[in-house]
Chains A and B, each alone.
Chain A
Amino acid sequence: MSANPGSSSDEWSTLLFRAAVIAGMATCFIAGWVLALETVADGWRGDALVWLTGLLTLETLLVEARRRRQWRYFPAEGTLAVRLAEIAVIAILAKASQYLPDRWGELGSDLQRWMMAPESFFDGGFWIAFVLLILVWWTAISTAASVAEFEDSGNLWSERKEAQTTLQTLFLLGALLLLVATGIPRVGISSQGFWLRPVSVDTLALLPILYVGLGILLFGQARFSLLLSGWTREHIPIAEGIDRRWTVWALVLVACGTGLALLLPAGTTGLGLFLLGCLAAAILFVGQLLTFLAFLVLSILLAPFTALNNAPASQVPSLPTLPDLPSPAQPSSPEWLLQVRLIAFIVAAIILLLWISRAYWYDRRVAAAWRVLLNLAAAIAAALRTLFGRARTLVEVMVNRREQTREQAVERGMTPSRSRWARSGRREQVRRLYLTLIERAAKAGHPRRPEQTPNEYMADLAPHLDDQQPALTTLTEAFLEARYSSHEIEPLRVAVLVRAWQRLQRALRRIRRSCPPPPPAGD
């Protein structure tokens, strides 16, 4: 538990998440309109405009958030100049979007054209891109400002309510315009009038869902800000990481809701049409009935006026036609004047670009937008460092444990590969040595009968082992001690037993080689 709502990294992650949500909504919106306009305006392409909008909105929102924090207690100076610079940069980006990604070759000839005729810079494609960018840029700023209004615990309820209304209006307006945009490519125009083309689940169908999903996430963030400001104002301690959880769970909820919706039948399927057809039929029936009644009442009320207006129409005088205007004379300027005009244009353009650059970058430097990116990079680096650190620690622990096991095994005179042996206890090790000995002896033709005790078996086996009888005695006694005593067995003794067992094993191998294996039972 902590009295602070969240740490600095959490704060930045929340900020980044909100900016990404708004930028995503803006991208959805612009993508819808780009697709619509590409259908309507032949030859115009706006692929680059879509991702350019996303990046521009993201950058603007991060800068705005930083600026809002910095200028919380101080008036913003030079805001108009900064806004003008930003608009100019947007204009340049709008123009650049026409050349992305594969029309850079035409830029040289176009530059010459702009010098000769500056008005050619502002062509139809530019205005479409510029208007879209400006619209989305300004809407994103307003949206972010509305969300930020919730965060300020000093705001009045009416101010928050106003922010909420603004947010709702912007969201609904955006959704409506996006729906209009998604509807435009479906409208077909022929000599018989308008008609709707059949549609399927494509990008256009998914864009509104994505937009609304992101919008709902944004409303969730607004709600969190509202609650957080209330808790902060009342000095209620807040659990750490609540903002991170909020974000994750909201994402899960919206993803579940949207996923569930996509599983259901849509308008082109039978079930959806049947259910909604019934509803529409009822609505149409009621509508037709109401329309009929309205016309009936209207006809009855207007009947006296219709009778009065049956008089013949008066003669309407025809309007005089205007004479044709003379065509404007072609300007006849000297060559040096054209050169001066060109130089003046270049100088003016350079000065304008310098001013824009200065105003734009100076503001970014003051607002320390780059710190946002640095913080983000630092957070990612820290996360990666932590991840790598944990992985390295894990690997080191595993390696150390393996080496330790190997050293212990070597100390006990065993090969490193016998890890299971190393893990077992000393009592178990003695037992396993003895059981292996019995097994090997059985293979060598001297099995132990079930009724034999270890000592009896030792007496039976000893005559066959030549000079290894002491080793057998040692191992048998150690087994009896390990099996029936409770005291600790020393590690050194296990090492001695291993050597004895190795000698016995060699002796048994010799016996096995010298004696042929017993014949199968069936023979």
Chain B
Amino acid sequence: MKVLPIAAAAVVIAFVTGSDSLFYLTYALIALYVLTPLWTRRALSAVHLCRRFPTHAFFGEQVKVQVDIVNTGLLPVPWMEFHESLPVALHAPNFERRVVSLASHERACVTYELHCRRRGCYRLGPANVRTGDLLGFSPDRTREFDADPFVVYPRIVPLRQIEIPSQLLFGSIASRQTVFQDPARFAGEREYVPGDSQRQIDWKNSARLDRLLVKRFQPSMALQVTVILDLNSDAYRVQHRETATEIGIIVAASLAAHLVERRQQVGLALSGADQVSGSVGVQAFRPAHGRQHLIRLLEALARTETAPTTPLAAVLPHLSAGLRWGSSVFLIVPAIDDALVAALVLLRRKGVNAMTVATDPSVPFEGFKAQLHAFGVPAFQITRVRDMDVWR
């Protein structure tokens, strides 16, 4: 309704007629016309918004997000339309809306759930609020509140049967290779037989029992594994790029979690792009152990995506330059080709153990598998999560 013209007309008529009622009417209209926008503006500026949720979640979790809308001012907010934009991968539909009303210093809670069905780095928000006056004298006002980041870690498949070759001695994983016995793992004694090392004779017990006894030790080994994940988009076929990428990330995350759980050092090299920073190229993490390191790796895997980069065969010598003799490399690639086989052979000759996983189902695999097997490089084709059952 046009208040100002009515008020102006009332002023003129009031003066002409000298009517008190018209004067009061004019004042009332002008007061309401001035007060209502001021109310809306002041009330909206006193509204604050805060999201409460865990910033990181594992795949498959259901995360409850609580949005607190607080009116810190004295003026009430008669109505407020709240609209939160959400990632469609986590919430359907891709928004959450609510109409609230806030008295002075009142708090309204909007709660919704996120279904972490896909790894990635998401943004919750931005949240838009719209409010207006009670009488419709002034146009509605809107305000935008910033978005908050939310990370969903990739899916982790428990691996129990996986065997990673290693030549590093004296680790914490029991080994079937009896040649690597760990002197820190005492396993008993036996009678001396000619040929046993004199250093292993238990002289005290031999003197007491008056016969020679030698100590036995449990064989063990240490794994220092570097997982290399190829996310060069050119290496993937378009029709399988999405699934093959996700499978590769799941394999990398599962392997990292498995090794950290066994108290081994694990490193990671990603040849792709970072969703958050936007950087493209190789992103490397030095081998380390511990849960914090695992979380760092999982976050990197959550944030990564495919991008056109240098082929892995070209950067592999570069990446393997810092690897110790006897350590292992777990290569996750979409497909194996001749250049990669040549690079792996070179790695093997440097004393680095290698394993390869191909994730693209549409490329030839068996021929390269036999070829790699001849060089002592195990190769697997994992195109679905179910294929990882061989390691479970």
Chain A residues close to B by CB (< 8 Å) = 1, 168, 172, 179, 182-183, 186, 196, 199-201, 204-209, 212-213, 216, 219-220, 223-224, 227, 231, 234, 236-239, 241-242, 245-246, 249-250, 253-254, 256-258, 260-262, 264, 266-268, 272, 276-277, 279-280, 283
Contacts and interface: CB of A to CB of B under 8 A. Distances in A.
A253 B27 CA distance: 14
Given A1-B98, A242-B78, A253-B134, 9 more contacts: A186-B17, A208-B21, A212-B29, A236-B99, A239-B99, A242-B101, A245-B101, A253-B35, A258-B28
A253 B135 contact: yes
Nearest to B75: A249
A237 B98 contact: yes
B15 A209 contact: no
Contacts of B110: 1
Interface string B64-78: 000000000000101
A261 B28 contact: yes
A264 B20 contact: no
Given A199-B18, A216-B135, A253 B24 contact: no
B21 A236 contact: no
A163 to B, nearest CB: 13
Given A236-B81, A267-B14, A209 B135 contact: no
A232 to B, nearest CB: 10
Contacts of B11: 276, 279
Nearest to B83: A236
Contacts of A256: 31, 35
B21 A216 contact: no
B260 interface: no
A199 B19 contact: yes
A277 B20 contact: no
A464 B19 CA distance: 94
Contacts of A253: 32, 35-36, 39, 134-135
Nearest to A238: B99
Interface string B50-80: 0000000000000000000000000010110
Contact of B24 (A209, A231, A250): A209
Interface string B239-250: 000000000000
A127 B14 CA distance: 32
Contacts of B79: 227, 242, 246
A277 B18 CA distance: 11
Contacts, number: 147
A266 B20 contact: yes
A207 B24 CA distance: 11
A280 B12 contact: yes
25 contacts: A179-B13, A182-B21, A183-B19, A186-B17, A201-B20, A204-B21, A206-B24, A208-B25, A219-B136, A231-B81, A236-B98, A237-B97, A242-B100, A246-B78, A249-B76, A249-B78, A253-B135, A254-B32, A258-B24, A258-B28, A260-B27, A266-B23, A266-B24, A268-B18, A276-B15
B75 to A, nearest CB: 10
Contacts of A258: 24, 28, 31
B201 interface: no
A265 to B, nearest CB: 8
A239 B101 contact: yes
Nearest to A228: B99
Contact of B99 (A186, A237, A279): A237
A213 B109 CA distance: 34
B22 interface: yes
A182 B26 CA distance: 16
A187 to B, nearest CB: 10
B1 interface: yes
B108 interface: yes
Contacts of B28: 209, 212-213, 257-258, 260-261
Nearest to A283: B12
B25 A212 contact: yes
A280 B99 contact: no
A445 to B, nearest CB: 62
Main SS at interface, chain A: helix
B38 to A, nearest CB: 11
A237 B13 CA distance: 47
B286 to A, nearest CB: 49
A234 B130 CA distance: 15
Contacts of A267: 14-15, 18-20, 22-23
B20 A200 contact: yes
Contact of A179 (B22, B29, B76): B22
B103 interface: yes
B193 interface: no
B2 to A, nearest CB: 9
Interface string B35-53: 1100100000000000000
Contacts of B25: 208-209, 212, 261
Contacts of A246: 78-79, 101, 134
Nearest to A226: B136
A9 B28 CA distance: 32
Interface in B164-201: none
A231 B76 CA distance: 20
B16 interface: yes
B99 A261 contact: no
A204 B265 CA distance: 91
Contacts of A254: 32
A250 B100 CA distance: 16
A276 B22 CA distance: 12
Nearest to B27: A261
Interface in B118-137: 134-136
A257 B35 contact: yes
A238 B101 CA distance: 9
Contact of B16 (A216, A250, A261, A280): A280
A272 B28 CA distance: 14
Contacts of A242: 78-79, 99-101
A283 B78 CA distance: 41
A373 B14 CA distance: 42
B19 A186 contact: yes
Contacts of A264: 23-24, 27
Given A200-B20, A212-B29, A279-B15, A168 B1 contact: yes
Interface string B208-219: 000000000000
B135 A250 contact: yes
A231 B99 contact: yes
A246 B103 CA distance: 11
Contacts of B14: 267, 276
Given A242-B79, A249-B78, A182 B19 contact: yes
A242 B76 CA distance: 12
A237 B275 CA distance: 34
Nearest to A222: B136
B326 to A, nearest CB: 61
B134 A205 contact: no
A234 B82 CA distance: 13
A239 B25 CA distance: 35
Contacts of B136: 219-220, 223
Contacts of A1: 98, 100, 109-110
Contact of B1 (A207, A219, A224, A250): A219
B120 to A, nearest CB: 28
Given A216-B135, A267-B14, A205 B32 contact: no
For the complex of A and B, 7 pairs with smallest distance between CB atoms: A261-B27, A261-B28, A205-B21, A266-B23, A257-B32, A257-B31, A276-B15
B32 A216 contact: yes
A181 B323 CA distance: 99
A183 B81 CA distance: 45
Contacts of B100: 1, 239, 242
Contacts of A205: 19-21, 24
Given A212-B29, A253-B134, A262 B24 contact: yes
A207 B21 CA distance: 8
A257 B37 CA distance: 13
Contacts of A204: 21
Contact of A239 (B15, B23, B108): B108
